[in-house]
A and B are shown apart, each in its own frame.
Chain A
Amino acid sequence: MAQNLGPSIAARLYASGGAALVGVLGTAFYFALSTPVFLSTANLLNVGRQTAIVALVSIGMTFVIITGGIDLSVGSVVGLSGTLAAVAIAQAHTGPFLGALIGLATGTSIGIINGAFIAILRVPAIVATLALLSIARGIALQATNGRPISGLTSSFSFLGRGEIFGAPAAFIIMICFYVLGTLILRVTVVGRHIVGIGGNEEAARLAGLKVRTYRLCIYGATGLVSGFAGLVLMSRLGSGQPTAGAGLELSAIAAVVLGGTRITGGQGTLIGSFLGALLITILGNGFDLLNVGSFYQLIFVGVVLLAAVVISRLTER
């Protein structure tokens, strides 16, 4: 009897982010040929800054999806964290440090609330985080009367606009997060447990893992990272926009799935998610340069997400 020696080559390639890599190279090549602006330094820095935000949110989303969950609230968390930090700095004059802390605490709190509903009260992740999507966005709009908060001190511009060795600071920081996250996922006991929980929750429970605690922490950490992304975005925009980050959940989910993380959990890599986030950003950027309307872009991201899930399913057969 022939021994089946594991997943097909196509499945392995996809799971390790191969499709996203091909997509990144292909689209970059196409846009480079289509418009000279694409490869200009200014535009590449811009792509780097935009990527940083999607990619940061995708880190949390990767962990969440690996454990078999989903977090629809990340876009609203980005908006609320940035907005409340801006309110603190511009209106309560807390100073940038305390303001940033307030932003991070906001994101973490929403994440923990997500986690509590999902892990302890057993609300399906899609429902709990959909509710928080609405609640967080509502709070951001209510707190600002729907108007942007300006008057931020210039000391807050580094995150979004600063540079480290010629590269956008936000991009470098994001890369550090990715390295840290990859180490956690690949070489630590905690990472092994997280993947195992997504692979077989019952087995994890039988093995004595504190599954609920893990889930709570993962949603909390996702809130924290999304809160940080909110600060970056606020810093880049130079103001607290209560509508900022809307729709980011879709980009992040698409990035993660494009990157090879299985939508039903149990498998995934952060490098893949990074490539997925880069691909999503390059697509948006290239379309902007080619004057493709943002409405078309919405349609396109949706199609890409569906295609990614279908391809991932097909390669697994």
Chain B
Amino acid sequence: MNGLLNAENISKSYGGVRAVEDVSLHVASGEVVAVVGDNGAGKSTFTKILAGAVRPDSGFLSFERRAVAFHSPKDAQRLGIEMLQQDLALVGDFNAAENLFFGRELSILGILRGKKMTDETREVLQQLGVSLPDSKVPVRYLSGGQRQAVAIGRVLAWGSKVIILDEPTAALGVQESRQVLEMIKRMRADGRTIVLITHNMDHVLEVADRVIVMRRGKKVGDLAVGNIQIADIVHLIVAG
């Protein structure tokens, strides 16, 4: 129990199917941990448990050396663990600032502080290396990479300590994926702790410190990225 976020012997079944079986994970502060595995390997279920979106059947979670039990994503959010789901969290008709502050608007006596929110949004996006041509444009008209930046910025703005990214580049082109990877690097440089679900092994080697390999609900590999090859990871994914 030395990490920022620890999961011990987590299991979860749906009906007769064991989606996650006895998985443990220790994420240190400031670490970027990639979670890889084939479709149905249990990556999503496991990370959703970390984010409070799914309740485990058994096992324990601890955060900052204290045992925690999440009943909803809000519980996890309150502690600073936020999961970012592809496009799901954005309102297409809202501009960047409206999205960034949606649900946690800055206000005085219930009156919105529009300018302050716009300014802070620009700042947050600048930290991510993204600038929007027009801060008033609804995000539905932005590129996929820009939208992802708004979604990530949203999480950053709340000072989250652990950010769980569920395939942040899945729907993006090469250039936009690059943009997102750069954002992850910037967050890492800022000392954010990141759990990254991905299918892209190049991305794993580029931004992650450690990679967790899952297969049929079990953790079959936990490797430091420094001295491994893509082939090693792929081998574990298919044959682990």
Contacts and interface: CB of A to CB of B under 8 A. Distances in A.
B92 A4 contact: no
Contacts of A283: none
B92 A200 contact: yes
A207 B102 contact: yes
B112 A187 contact: yes
Contact of B110 (A3, A189, A199, A202): A189
Interface in B22-77: 73-74, 77
A206 B104 contact: no
A7 interface: yes
Interface string B104-117: 11010011100000
Given A6-B134, A7-B141, A188-B111, A208 B74 contact: yes
B111 A187 contact: yes
A202 B133 CA distance: 27
Given A203-B90, A266-B91, A189 B133 contact: no
B138 A200 contact: no
A204 B134 contact: no
Nearest to B72: A208
A147 interface: no
B112 A5 contact: no
Contacts of B93: 195, 199, 266-267
A203 B134 contact: no
A60 B39 CA distance: 46
Contact of A196 (B85, B102, B107): B102
Contact of B103 (A7, A199, A209): A209
Interface string B176-195: 00000000000000000000
B91 A203 contact: yes
A199 B94 contact: yes
Contact of A200 (B91, B110, B111): B91
Contacts of B141: 4-7
A188 B112 contact: yes
Interface string A288-311: 000000000000000000000000
Given A199-B93, A203-B91, A192 B137 contact: no
B88 interface: yes
Contacts of B112: 187-189, 192
A190 interface: yes
Contact of B107 (A189, A200, A202, A203): A189
20 contacts: A5-B137, A6-B141, A7-B138, A187-B111, A187-B112, A189-B107, A189-B111, A189-B112, A195-B94, A196-B91, A196-B98, A196-B103, A199-B92, A203-B89, A206-B73, A206-B88, A207-B89, A207-B104, A208-B103, A266-B92
Q: Which 6 A-B pairs have the closest CB atoms?
A: A207-B103, A199-B91, A6-B137, A200-B91, A199-B93, A266-B93
Interface of A: 3-7, 187-190, 192-193, 195-196, 199-200, 202-204, 206-209, 266-267
Interface of B: 73-74, 77, 85, 88-94, 98, 102-105, 107, 110-112, 133-134, 136-138, 141
